[in-house]
Amino acid sequence: MIEKGYSSDNKENWIKAYDPNNQNKEEAFKIVIQEKMVWNLIEKDKEYFAMYSKKGDNPSVLENIQY
């Protein structure tokens, strides 16, 4: 994970991440985190194993994350 943030109305928390095995930092993409507690625990510049879902043109949504 290389970046984390939230929307101006604080309703959407997100991270930007990439697959270090197949991508580089320039290919990072946004993953929405629905649980604020989970978002609070994620640290910048750490590697995680994550599963996410993507529907259409909507941002990816985090389903599971492990350190």
Residue matched to tokens 């984390």: 4
User: What is the mean pLDDT of the segment spanning 42-60?
Assistant: 93
Residue matched to tokens 């990816």: 60
**What tens digit of pLDDT does each residue of 3-34 get?**
999 999 988 999 999 998 999 999 999 999 99
Instruction: Indicate the pTM of the whole model.
Output: 0.88
pLDDT at 60: 96
Q: How far is CA 37 from CA 41, 53, 66, in A?
A: 7, 19, 14
Assigned token pair, 36: 């604020």
